[in-house]
Amino acid sequence: MAKPKVLISDKMDPNAARIFEERGCDVDVITGQTPDELKAIIGQYDGLAIRSSTKVTPEILEAATNLKVIGRAGIGVDNVDIPAASAKGVVVMNTPFGNSITTAEHAIAMMMALARQIPEANESTQAGKWEKNRFMGVEVTGKTLGLIGAGNIGAIVASRALGLRMKIVAYDPFLTAERAIDMGVEKVDLDELLTRADFITLHTPLTDETRNILSAEALAKTKKGVRIVNCARGGLIDEAALKAALESAHVAGAALDVFEEEPAKENPLFGTPNFICTPHLGASTTEAQVNVALQVAEQLSDYLVNGGVTNALNMPSLSAEEAPRLRPYMALAEKLGSLIGQLAHDNLTKISIEVEGAAAQLNQKPITGAVLAGFMKRFSQSVNMVNAPFLAKERGLEVREIRNEREGVYQTLVRVTVDTSAGDRSVAGTLFGKAEPRLVDIFGVGIEADLDGNMMYIVNDDQPGFIGRIGTLLGENGINIGTFHLGRRAAGGEAVLLLSVDNPVPEDVLNAACQLTGVRVVRALTF
């Protein structure tokens, strides 16, 4: 059997190549390639180890006919098209903890440099000017630090800032009150952070929700004289707005390690008064680079040789032996989590995942992770099976796992239950032919249905003529029905209809469906 073949396409510690070889992989180190050069050779590799320079685009993935796994030596994966990789069946891993301390320390260093104007004072002194009275800094002791993002790196920054006797306010949608207390910070909304903070540091990934989180409007809300540090991701700050705020002196200083376009050889901020920058050095310490290089080599080789998955961004961790049996259950679990997340709209605090029969013989963690990945999409589309359990915990969601080895009506079953203001609500599903996910129960109503694509969920009174009315409404609006799935509690009582449609149902059609005689609930669903 041929050895797995790995390409290291960015510069990293030489020990990474050694680990690949020791663990049974052939490895090539070819760095500095153009996209066309990488595209020409990527087809021969099973694994790709990168840092930030290599851009893994859909075009690269299309040419990667044998690629099974991508490993990023570092935390940020902005340079990898994860949806395209997932569609291609390629696992994407990162090393989320190897450079956290280094990045946090760089943010603290940038903050201190801003507070005491160290770069400008250094330049002036070395020029022989001795402008002692020109550089009047500020203390950080007693000042308020605003953290935008309170995850792993943000928490480390908070601990260091507490040691500097700073007060800390934090904005993070996933930060619970309990976690804030543990960190020693005050949880606030973004507007309050902007108005209170003397220093602001950013520690959040770049998503549709966080892009330009410090916009011109947001910067206008900040306290006059605020100082801003970004060692997270370019694009979190509107750079043109920041330049204007610096020139007006509303912002007293800004320090950026990252830019919207990198390498940033030209940028409007360059030369702006009270602006300092570094060339994306957040993770650039000897310790961090060794750590992430060794970790990515260990993770990729473990996957390629043994099938083990660690720190994957598009699938849960599981062993090679478990994977074939668990994958159908994970598909079922994610659909059930997504279904109940779309239908239960309370501020949910508890979720139970119960496995029964054959499912109870398996590793439940990937099943739970898949349920949470589907469920947590109600908050963010960037959630995946790896970070969903952590995000659920941060939101204060109590997760309970239940295992029933007895076999019930179905030979295998997965049930998801949430605690709502109206009581417990649950959905359940099974596998047909040990492979095909199928819904079999929704809120206590027996119904067998595939969960796929665009769907409508309707609760109505069980009365003659309803199917005709809903079919007529959809037909008049040019909406083609794929499948009908019906269930009811009792004759003449509450009935449930799940139907698949070829395209998303417009809002006006949903509203019209709500007005039909006997209709109680109408929801559009997407899987």
The active-site residue, picked from 227, 280, 415, 485, is 280
Strands (E) in 385-422, as ranges, are 398-404, 412-420
Catalytic (active site) residue 280: yes
The active-site residue, picked from 23, 72, 203, 233, is 233
The active-site residue, picked from 21, 186, 192, 262, is 262
Catalytic (active site) residue 345: no
Element (H, E) at 107: helix 100-116
Catalytic (active site) residue 262: yes
Q: Is 271 left (phi over 0), alpha (psi -120 to 50) or beta?
A: left
Element (H, E) at 390: helix 388-394
Q: Which residue from 100, 2, 1, 51 is spatially nearest to 297, judged by alpha carbons?
A: 51
Separation CA 140–CA 263 (nearest Å) = 31
Q: Which residue from 251, 261, 255, 259 is spatially nearest to 277, judged by alpha carbons?
A: 255
What is residue 389's three-state secondary structure?
A: helix
Q: Are 212 and 238 in contact (CB under 8 A)?
A: yes
Separation CA 197–CA 49 (nearest Å) = 39
Q: For the chain, give the number of residues.
A: 527
For the chain, how far is it from start to end, CA to CA, in angstroms? 39
Q: Which residue from 382, 298, 289, 299 is spatially nearest to 103, judged by alpha carbons?
A: 289
Separation CA 516–CA 524 (nearest Å) = 16
Residues identified as active-site: 233, 262, 280
